[in-house]
A and B are shown apart, each in its own frame.
Chain A
Amino acid sequence: MPLENNLKVYRARKNMNQSDLGDQVGVSRQTISSIERGEYNPSIILALKIAKVFNTTVESLFTYLEDDLDEY
């Protein structure tokens, strides 16, 4: 997965669990969990929504690592 994230850190700072974050951005708890584990790369819209919850930028939440395409 080409994206690395520090969602967990931001969540901990805000004392927020996966379920709360999921509710705020309109996705399931599992989707938040998949993003944190790097199993799922969120869309730009979802990334922006998450960044808005933490009052930060997308770049500070997600880091692009390498040119690696998802396999279908």
Chain B
Amino acid sequence: MNISRKSILKMMGYLFFGGIFGFVISMLLRYVGKSEHLNILISIREFLISNSVYLFPLLFLIFFVPVYIFGKIGKKELNQAIDLPDDLYDDHINEAEKKIDISLSLNSIFMVINFIFLGMSFEPRVAQIYVFLGLFLFNILVISLYEISTIRFIQQNDERLKGDPVSFRFRKDFFNSCDEAEKQKILKTSYHGFNLARNVSFALLIMTILSHMILETGIYAIFISGFMLLAIMGGYSYYAIFK
């Protein structure tokens, strides 16, 4: 193997700092793992369970109101930009699209947060469990309908863009209908997203291993985070080799 001395030293440096980082994390986990600190986590979960009915309406206010406002302004600006002359069009359309992008991104975050809170505060013995589940489903329904309506709005303004947002083939059809510049933008964004997902998954895997070693949190979390990393890297390799 032809590896320069500089590269080896660099790798040793990374290993050294990785060791220090691991040590700090283990100390932190040991600190958190002390019974009095674990009690705080338990009381947070109990608080979430006892207030679970208010949780989803609160999330709705925190997330969906900005989602709706950004979307409304973005759509209005996009409608106005279409009639503008070329010189003014650029700035206006970029601003309008940015707002719609923020709106859709917040909407996606809202969905993930809903699922996280469902998992964290689900307790079948609580009396109002059906109200709790009903509110969760209401949020998910609103999120889905909003996303579909926004995609339809974008498609109405640009008839080139195809795909039924309710179909499983939507992402493929939509991507295929984009022009080359739009495809390049999507691919660039996806590549950055892939790198972030890979790094975060790897960090999560290390965290779950350390927490299992120190706090005996079980192997389920290790399996899930490891599987996620394998899926991300496996997906990338599959497309690199076979597509």
Contact = CB atoms under 8 A, between A and B. Distances in A.
Contacts of A40: 181, 184
A28 B89 contact: no
Contacts of B89: 18, 29, 33
Interface SS, B side: helix
Interface string A12-40: 00000110000000111111011101001
Interface in B87-118: 89-90, 93
6 contacts: A28-B160, A28-B179, A30-B93, A33-B86, A37-B90, A42-B180
Interface of B: 85-86, 89-90, 93, 158, 160, 179-182, 184, 188, 191
Given A17-B86, A31-B181, 5 more contacts: A17-B85, A26-B160, A27-B180, A31-B182, A42-B181
Contacts of B182: 28, 31
Nearest to B158: A28
Contacts of B188: 72
A37 B90 CA distance: 10
Interface of A: 17-18, 26-31, 33-35, 37, 40, 42-43, 46, 72
A33 to B, nearest CB: 5
A28 B97 CA distance: 14
Contact of B180 (A18, A37, A43): A43
A18 B181 CA distance: 15
Contact of A72 (B160, B179, B181, B191): B191
Contacts of B93: 29-30, 33
A67 B93 CA distance: 31
Contacts of B85: 17
B179 A33 contact: no
B179 A26 contact: yes
Contacts of A72: 188, 191
Given A17-B86, A18-B89, A34 B181 contact: yes
Nearest to B192: A72
Nearest to B188: A72
B40 to A, nearest CB: 43
Contacts of B160: 26, 28
Contacts of A37: 90
